[in-house]
Structure 1
Amino acid sequence: MPSVLFFVLFLSSLHFSSSQRYNSLFNFGDSMSDTGNVQIATLPYGMTYFRNATGRCSDGRLVIDFIAQELGFPLLPPSQEDHDFSRGANFAVVAATTLGFEFFNERNLSRGLWVNASLHLQVDRFEKLMPSICGAPQECKDFLSKSLFIVGEFGGNDYSTALFFAVPIDEVSTFVPHVIKTLKDGVERLIQLGAVDLIVPGVLPVGCFPLYLTNYPTTNPEDYGPKTGCARRYNALSWLHNTLLRRALDELRRKYPSVSIRYADYYSQIIDIALNPLKYGFTAGALRTCCGNGDGPYNYDQTKRCAEKDYTVCSNVSTHVNWDGIHMTEAAHRVIATGWLHGPYINPPILRSGQR
């Protein structure tokens, strides 16, 4: 009996050491992980967990919130407010792009940018805050070596900015190498500042989201996945981005062999949810919006979006994957966070990565 008790205590200590080994958590990204840098939403955003709109583009918590809670951190404070950032900060901004203003301005697309908060500017913000977070450069190197960095997702808004202005998808695909190079450069900047443990998510399969399915329909059944119902050409764009991103991360691993750089696979995880919604408890499937008011199959109407006009909220949010047409419900964020914390959508998983 004592040996069994010892074994249980040993396992508990392993979990504690892996989940408590970080002294801070830093996040960069867009609306998938913004926790309040842009306060654009009102209720019913935030209705499930916070009972109030917090700037999160969901009914409740996001993947980054579940990760912070599991690692024993407070929910990450938005970096653009006055907070104590000694245990981490969130630099993500709703509608943020990877590429800077100039790239879109040169292509006459800058009018489609909601914010000027590119990855480069988010890293700038982090660098300016570093002295107040960790002190002198060498102190920061030591501090950041025990911190976890999540960089992304980035890229979705770079492509949607062009797609929403009717730029052909083949032309939008030419943006991908620019996005990946800028994302790679941003990750490398963080490494040079002292980051040694980074997670870089790929983009989501946007062809599975009601906004794209509703706004860009076709009459050809071959344009849709026979099992998922997702739009193939938009998912192909996401696939291209993720393929090039993984190559770029491999290059960084070879250049910085002592740094842990892990890819988080949003794409495969959401495709699995779309294929097997009941496996995850989603009886409403993956393609139907919870908060919206459309007459079509996806409950999405661009003129009646969630929290704007004549919208309705589904009676049981937890059965839905999609919240407002492009963002996910808290229930979906929880499932995805579990796939990152315990596997298999990050290798090694966050809670089983151990000491490097």
Structure 2
Amino acid sequence: MDVIGGIFVFWLVMSAVKSEEVNSVPSCDFPAIFNFGDSNSDTGCMAAAFFPMASPCGETFFHEPAGRASDGRLIIDFIAKQLGFPLLSAYIDSIGTSYGHGANFAAGSSTIRRQNRTFFDGGTPFTLEIQTAQFNQFKARTAKFFNQAGDNHSCRRQFPRPEDFPKAIYTMDIGQNDIAAAINRVGKEDSHDVISDIVQHFATQVQNLYKEGARTFWIHNTGPIGCLAVTMHNTHNPVAGYVDQNGCVNYQNDMAKEFNEKLKNTVVTLRSQLPAASLTYVDLFSAKYQLISNAKKEGFVDPSKICCGYHEDGNDIWCGNKGIVNGTEIFAGSCEDPSSYISWDGVHYTEAANRWIADRILNGSFSDPPIAITHSCHELGSP
């Protein structure tokens, strides 16, 4: 048998061993989920803190704006459903919320590193550092309130028990806005150093959560930012090599890939530094790129097409806003069938696309180690 054949056989054997390990371990009985991220998983933070989402956001599932930058549910909503949880309430939202099964600290425009921007120029105060600080406060105040509640079980059901925190799953989906900021500064600073620094800041926050008792981490890498519909839609007559076969901007995706590679290496390092933790790295980039590459085969329109908003003849009116085109006021509403689109507003995905991606990542197909989210509290052995 030649070397390549031997390697292939070894890979098959190890894959079978991994599969057997997955099937032999019991499902994790997670009592709660705590999420950290940006607008890809924000279920109402920015809407509660600043301005509410405008119609037609939320039209597909909620039939009204529901704090999400989509026509319906996000990947985090499908994660919650898979784990048997109700939809996660945003930590900062005070109306009609329940935290009995966890809380969501994600906020639109959030970054891993601090950015010198405000909400009014596309920034947010809710960096990952702030989100973990909010979690620390939530954990401390919840424990105090839970103990003071005594036999008032109706109040207790609104919050996680103190013993739930180390048994919970901690999901993280952030970094896209950091890469976008780095792309905007190409040529002004060393992007390699910037990306390394972003990843180091991420590692610090994971370590801080670990110190607070977090043990199971489900970590998404960043998606193909060069394939965002708003970028693809506005790329006209590119020079050779600027875009790939799908129309995605190569150098932007290359920066996302570099971030993802360094993030994956950091997760490997964290496994050795945090021996009691289980850290699953999820290749969201590959899942999203697979959808974009096979859009028509999977029943979607061209991935550069945007469902909600007006982007024609140099006029850009964002989803749910009004604007003047050729002297006439128009409302930038949604397409007739959002379920056939990948992109909701040029940056965020539709519920149909989010569901498609969730269906493919939750079983562990894009994970390292290759383990389903329902089993992710178990760290598989390495070959």
Bucket of the pairwise TM-score, normalised by the shorter protein:
0.7 to 0.9
Shift of 1:175: 1.9
Q: CA contact under 8 A between 2:232 and 2:247: conserved in structure 1? A: no
Change over 3 Å in CA distance of 1:129–1:52 after alignment to 2: same
CA distance in 2, matches of 1:88, 1:280: 34
Which aligned pairs between 1:1-356 and structure 2 lie closer than 5 A? Answer: 18=27, 21-39=29-47, 40=51, 41-82=53-94, 83-101=97-115, 104=116, 112-135=121-144, 142-152=163-173, 154-161=174-181, 163-164=183-184, 167-168=186-187, 171-215=190-234, 219-226=238-245, 228-282=246-300, 284-295=301-312, 303-309=316-322, 310=330, 311-346=332-367, 347-353=370-376
CA distance in 2, matches of 1:155, 1:355: 26
CA distance in 1, matches of 2:195, 2:378: 34
Partner SS, residue 70 of structure 2: coil
Q: CA contact under 8 A between 1:112 and 1:161: conserved in structure 2? A: no
Give CA-to-partner distance per residue, 1:174-209, whole Å, 9 cap, x none: 421111011111111111111110011111101101
Q: CA contact under 8 A between 1:207 and 1:230: conserved in structure 2? A: yes
Q: CA contact under 8 A between 2:42 and 2:107: conserved in structure 1? A: yes
Give CA-to-partner distance per residue, 1:262-285, whole Å, 9 cap, x none: 111111011111111244332x03
Shift of 1:160: 2.4
The one-letter amino acid of 2:112's match is T
Partner SS, residue 316 of structure 2: coil
Q: CA contact under 8 A between 1:159 and 1:172: conserved in structure 2? A: no
Q: CA contact under 8 A between 1:140 and 1:194: conserved in structure 2? A: no
TM-score normalized by structure 1? 0.84
CA distance in 2, matches of 1:273, 1:187: 29
CA distance in 2, matches of 1:61, 1:325: 16
Return 124-133 or 323-332, whichever deviates more: 124-133
Gaps (5+ residues) in structure 1?
1-13
The one-letter amino acid of 2:308's match is C
Return 170-179 or 181-190, whichever deviates more: 170-179
% of aligned pairs identical? 29
Gaps (5+ residues) in structure 2?
1-22, 146-159, 323-329
CA distance in 1, matches of 2:133, 2:78: 26
- Calculate the aligned-residue CA RMSD, in Å: 2.7
Q: CA contact under 8 A between 2:230 and 2:306: conserved in structure 1? A: no
Q: CA contact under 8 A between 1:141 and 1:193: conserved in structure 2? A: no
The one-letter amino acid of 1:303's match is D
Shift of 1:211: 2.1
CA distance in 2, matches of 1:242, 1:167: 18
CA distance in 1, matches of 2:192, 2:308: 30
Larger radius of gyration: 2
CA distance in 2, matches of 1:317, 1:151: 26
Q: CA contact under 8 A between 1:342 and 1:352: conserved in structure 2? A: no
Q: CA contact under 8 A between 1:35 and 1:76: conserved in structure 2? A: yes
Shift of 1:213: 2.7
Partner SS, residue 318 of structure 1: helix
Change over 3 Å in CA distance of 1:351–1:286 after alignment to 2: farther
CA distance in 2, matches of 1:54, 1:334: 17
Q: CA contact under 8 A between 2:43 and 2:68: conserved in structure 1? A: yes
Shift of 1:113: 4.7
1:9 corresponds in structure 2 to none
CA distance in 2, matches of 1:158, 1:211: 18
Q: CA contact under 8 A between 2:32 and 2:101: conserved in structure 1? A: yes
CA distance in 1, matches of 2:351, 2:140: 34
CA distance in 1, matches of 2:67, 2:55: 10
CA distance in 1, matches of 2:140, 2:315: 44
Would you say how many aligned residue pairs link Structure 1 and Structure 2?
327
Change over 3 Å in CA distance of 1:76–1:114 after alignment to 2: same
